[in-house]
Amino acid sequence: MRKISLLIIILLTLLACSGKKTPAVERISVFAVHINSIAQQENISFTEAATLVKQMGYSGADVYPYQEAIIPVLDSLGFGHSCAIVHINYLGAEHVDSIDINTPRGFNRGGWADLEEAAISFTKRHNYPHLMLVPNTLPRNATPEDAETIRRHVAAFADRCVTEGIDLVVESYDNEASLCYGTERLQTLLNRSKSLGVAFDIGNFTFAHEDPVEAYETLKDRVRHVHLKDRASLDDMTPVPAGTGCSKIETVLKKMEDLDYQGWYTVEIFGSRQMRSDLETAYRNTHAFLSAYK
């Protein structure tokens, strides 16, 4: 009888623990390419740079499929798999001005179907909770049909991902030529597929001249991942460490925690020339904000 009682207690304890939310301060992640930036700026190895970032307190990393070789290093240091990211050009290689400059040449020049397959395989192989799709921006000579082509592909890919057990998200993108620029365009995409979620980039709503707090209220039911990007000021959209700019990072985080958001918070500071110190500042501020909402 005592053994049965003990077994029941153990099972109840396991059930209770399984339903617990991971503390917010343990869900702060970073773009893996930012770790590369530290390695390049300080002339050290990727492993050394990743060790420094882990020591700062970061728990996860957002990774592109073309970075697969670094995953064993990240795993050995205890980085969680926060999000996979893929850029795909759905209009063909001839639209060279629609290729994102942050993605290696050849990785999204046409062949969208192959890129989708590669992204799905990568996401499943490494057990990422989300796959973030960045569709190409519209070229200067784009037609309404071009925009429709991209929307149709994004919606179809979202629905395909569901069948693969993958959660596809798109972010609020900081380029006026993007179909993900600002709340209205995001909603147009979201209306195409109930499967599609949002990677909520706080600073990119500031870039689109929107209040991130209001944008979150509008999109909160579809938010599954978060990018902590801040902007220097309303007159200077230069990315700065989270908590040092004008993008209401602290206010948005409070709203998210109040509504029981359980995903990752990924720090983003593309373009930083002092990536190590900027990541330290961003982590320190983010940790302080989230510590207040335990």
Task: Show me where the domains of the chain are located.
Answer: 23-291
For 228, the 3-state DSSP assignment is: strand
The pLDDT score that the predictor gives to residue 191 is: 96
At 105, list the tokens: 């040449």
The pTM (predicted TM-score) of the whole model is 0.87
Q: Given the structure tokens 């930036």, which residue do they identify?
A: 37
Q: What is the pLDDT of residues 204-263, one digit of tens each?
A: 999 999 999 999 999 999 999 999 999 999 999 999 999 999 999 999 999 999 999 999
122 neighbors 157 (Cβ within 8 angstroms): no
In whole numbers, what is the pLDDT of the chain averaged over residues? 89
Q: What is the pLDDT of residues 44-99, one digit of tens each?
A: 999 999 999 999 999 999 999 999 999 999 999 999 999 999 999 998 754 444 43
Q: What are the backbone dihedrals phi and psi of residue 60, each rounded to the nearest 5 degrees, phi first?
A: -140, 175
- Return the CATH number of the domain spanning residue range 23-291: 3.20.20.150
54: left (phi over 0), alpha (psi -120 to 50) or beta: alpha
What mean pLDDT comes out for the span 177-191?
A: 96
